[in-house]
Amino acid sequence: MAGLFKPARHGGASLTLDPVEASILRSLTVQMLELLGPGDEPAEDDDPLAHLFAEGPSKPPEDPALARLFPDAYGEGEDAEEYSAEFRRFTENDLRTRKRDDALALIRSIDSADVDRKARPVLRLGAEDCKHWLGALNDLRLTLGTRLELTEDPEEAESLYRLPDDDPRKPLMMAYLWLGGLQETLLEVLTR
């Protein structure tokens, strides 16, 4: 896998991907969009203020990956569940929309990329696109990390880094590590 972010001439970042990398990244992002579910687009005659103040779900998602993407806002405690439910009702819809927007921006960037002499997609991202990419890469890594059941235990994480080739988790782990490299190099470019 070749693609890592580099500074672009006029600001932003550039990324040259192998066609297989582009396909993998696009596929993972589409799968995450399916996990997030469709957005609620208001009808033309809907009141914009009503949409703005629409209430979302009050219970945490049952899917562990979605629960990681939309965690409770309050930890443990006597009223934590009630406060988290109230917070979720008024924030989760907007958060889902932002996560969908980030993922769609990533897909659009790949789909509209120029192609170099070796038929590799070459992406040139402006500042706004970079923000979307950072959000989408983070969400992809959180989702994969949850599916891999990664914890903060260093010994457990180390064992996942050395999975045998026939382990069904190996491709997810390789994608997780690659996405981490993309995220790290994009942050480096943006903080220079």
| Mean pLDDT of all residues in 134-145 | 97
CA 40 remoteness from chain centre: 19
Listed in sequence order, the DSSP H helices in the chain are: 19-36, 48-52, 64-69, 80-111, 127-147, 154-161, 170-190
| Mean pLDDT of all residues in 20-39 | 94
| Mean pLDDT of all residues in 37-45 | 65
The amino acid sitting at 12 is G
Q: What is the pLDDT of residues 56-90, one digit of tens each?
A: 777 888 999 999 999 988 877 888 888 888 888 88
Check: CB of residue 182 under 8 Å from CB of residue 4: yes
Binned at pLDDT 50, 70 and 90, residue 102 comes out as very high
Three-state DSSP class for residue 122: strand
Binned at pLDDT 50, 70 and 90, residue 1 comes out as very low
**What's the whole-model pTM score?**
0.88
Binned at pLDDT 50, 70 and 90, residue 164 comes out as very high
Binned at pLDDT 50, 70 and 90, residue 96 comes out as very high
